[in-house]
């Protein structure tokens, strides 16, 4: 990739502009703070923001959220929207783990109800939910069943007894992306997805027991069903090997055809196809399959979490009251309509490591949240907990309805492993009041808290910028990881 010098002009306390230069078609805008910029060191994600601005059909800006860090082609934390007629689709702008996302469940329990059972719950969850690299679930899908998962998403899982219609109502896009075509998914990707449905995966994926610690907006919190001291569960997982393989397949296909596109790019990792081309349409159809697989996956993980809580605590479903607050995806490209220069335009919005943040009144939201806005789930590292935020009109106007998705790494996995050498990470977490179990010590070493930015800092930027607002902060008490 060519080296480009990055100029950053401060717009206000939360935004920095990269002016158009070279082959950039639009400026770049980075949401961050002065302190976080200083702490970035040699991370080259601002350069990647510039590189994305070279892509044809990009509209308004190339954006990055405060949790941004180096990614494949696009920065993680990157957002870009493209005109449907003259724009492109880039798998690097979605990511390898298509529809990696989070879902949060609220309960009727308070922390006092589980204080003496946290370790027992963590052990039971670890035993009942498959985790780790290449982990397989209790299901091995027949070919017909897998095709149904890829087209029906969450509704397939619910139809098989893994949850309720109410769960579907509070899932982004109601748990299914239209336009999915299993015929556009390779046999290798289908094979990888056949026995991984209902598995957590590895790396930064987790299932976490949390407690609501602070409420910032009581009115919105009441609509979301959140109160101080309440127990909640957050699940972070994606489309597993199937999504990874789909990304890999289409990147290889697009890299081969880069010379035929008629324009130059500063980074071959930005390999792309015209949205109206056969390759572009095929990728969108395959990507939708992976998105639907991920929603079905999280739906099943939630169902087994409910069962584990019921059995471990010996409580009936009504006593437990575990409800889905919301499910949001982080790695996706969607056809959505936004205001551009005073006119409404249908665009292809890439969100890579970024969360949708739709405002009050938006028709895509479930009726129960339409008056207040979309729930936005922002997880931190395994010792931090998470935030619940709410979408805003400002995000709709300025960031294509997008905000941050988490804390964002500041150390590579190799750096984190070196930094944690000789330490007992599980004991460190226990000393902080968090019971952690993982399928291998290596995962905990890679995921040490200092490998990530400070979640409070990231959330403060998007809150001050007005592209999502704080509703509640939760602390972690138990966590399982791959």
Catalytic residues: 405
Cα dihedral across residues 200, 205, 209, 211: positive or negative? negative
Does the annotation place 380 within a ligand binding site?
yes
Does the annotation place 381 within a ligand binding site?
yes
Distance CA 408, CA 39 (A): 12
Q: Which two tokens stand for residue 452?
A: 């990530």
Does the annotation place 405 within a ligand binding site?
yes
Distance CA 424, CA 98 (A): 32
Distance CA 222, CA 480 (A): 29
CA 144 to chain centre: 28
DSSP letter assigned to residue 133: T
DSSP letter assigned to residue 308: H
User: Could you write out the DSSP letters of every residue in 78-131?
Assistant: EEEEEETTT-EE-GGGT-SSTT-EEEEEEEEEEHHHHGGGHHHHHHHHHHHS--
User: Could you write out the DSSP letters of every residue in 426-453?
Assistant: HHHHHHTT-EEEES-HHHHHHT-GGGB-
Does the annotation place 202 within a ligand binding site?
no
Q: Which two tokens stand for residue 196?
A: 């991984």
Does the annotation place 117 within a ligand binding site?
no
Q: Spell out the residues 6+ positions from residue 115 whose beta carbon is closer than 8 angstroms to its own.
A: none
Does the annotation place 236 within a ligand binding site?
yes
| CA-closest candidate to residue 150, choices 246, 236, 235 | 246
CA 209 to chain centre: 18
Distance CA 30, CA 12 (A): 11
Distance CA 476, CA 177 (A): 31
Does the annotation place 408 within a ligand binding site?
yes
Number of Cβ within 10 Å of residue 13's Cβ equals 11
| CA-closest candidate to residue 227, choices 216, 235, 239 | 216
C-alpha Rg value of the chain to the nearest Å: 21
Distance CA 288, CA 143 (A): 18
Distance CA 251, CA 409 (A): 24
Does the annotation place 205 within a ligand binding site?
yes
Per the annotation, where are the binding residues for GMP?
204-208, 330-331, 379-382, 386, 405-408, 481
Annotated binding site: 97, 204-208, 236, 330-331, 379-382, 386, 405-408, 481
Binding residue numbers for Mn(2+): 97, 205, 236, 330
């Amino acid at each position: 990739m060519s080296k480009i010098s990055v100029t950053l002009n401060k717009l206000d306390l939360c935004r920095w502009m990269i002016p158009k230069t070279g082959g950039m078609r639009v400026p770049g805008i980075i949401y961050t703070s002065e302190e976080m910029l200083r702490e970035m060191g040699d991370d080259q994600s601002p350069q990647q923001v510039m590189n994305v601005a070279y892509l044809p059909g990009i509209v308004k800006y190339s954006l990055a959220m405060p949790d941004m860090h180096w990614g494949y082609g696009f920065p993680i934390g990157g957002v870009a929207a493209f005109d449907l007629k003259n724009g492109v689709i880039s798998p690097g702008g979605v990511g390898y783990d298509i529809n990696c996302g989070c879902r949060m469940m609220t309960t009727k329990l308070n922390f006092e109800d589980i204080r003496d059972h946290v370790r027992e719950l963590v052990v039971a969850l670890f035993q009942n939910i498959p985790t780790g690299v290449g982990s397989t679930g209790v299901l091995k899908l027949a070919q017909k069943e897998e095709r149904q998962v890829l087209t029906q998403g969450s509704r397939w899982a619910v139809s098989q007894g893994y949850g309720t219609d109410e769960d579907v109502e509070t899932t982004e896009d109601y748990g299914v992306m239209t336009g999915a075509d299993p015929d556009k998914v390779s046999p290798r990707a289908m094979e990888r997805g056949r026995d991984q449905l209902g598995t957590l995966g590895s790396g930064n994926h987790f299932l976490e027991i949390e407690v609501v610690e602070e409420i910032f907006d009581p009115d919105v919190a009441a609509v979301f069903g959140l109160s101080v001291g309440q127990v909640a569960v957050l699940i972070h997982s994606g489309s597993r090997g199937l999504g990874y393989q789909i990304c890999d397949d289409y990147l290889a296909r697009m890299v081969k055809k880069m010379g035929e596109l008629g324009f130059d790019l500063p980074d071959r990792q930005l390999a792309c196809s015209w949205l109206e081309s056969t390759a572009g349409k095929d990728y969108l159809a395959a990507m939708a399959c992976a998105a639907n697989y991920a929603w079905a996956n999280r739906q099943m993980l939630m169902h087994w979490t409910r069962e584990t809580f019921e059995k471990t605590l010996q409580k009936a479903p009504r006593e437990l009251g575990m409800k889905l607050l919301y499910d949001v995806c982080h790695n996706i490209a969607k056809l959505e309509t936004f205001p551009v220069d005073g006119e409404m335009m249908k665009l292809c919005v890439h969100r890579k490591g970024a969360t949708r943040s739709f405002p009050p009144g938006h028709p895509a939201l479930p009726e129960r949240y339409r008056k207040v806005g979309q729930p936005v789930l922002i997880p931190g590292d395994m010792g931090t907990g998470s935030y619940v935020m709410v979408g805003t009109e400002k995000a709709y106007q300025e960031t294509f309805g997008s905000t941050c998705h988490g804390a964002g790494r500041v150390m590579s996995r190799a750096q984190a492993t070196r930094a944690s050498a000789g330490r007992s990470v599980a004991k460190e977490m226990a000393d902080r009041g968090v019971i952690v179990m993982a399928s291998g010590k290596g995962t905990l070493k890679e995921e040490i808290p200092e490998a990530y930015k400070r979640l409070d800092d990231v959330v403060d930027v998007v809150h001050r910028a007005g592209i999502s607002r704080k509703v509640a902060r939760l602390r972690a008490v138990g966590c399982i990881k791959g």
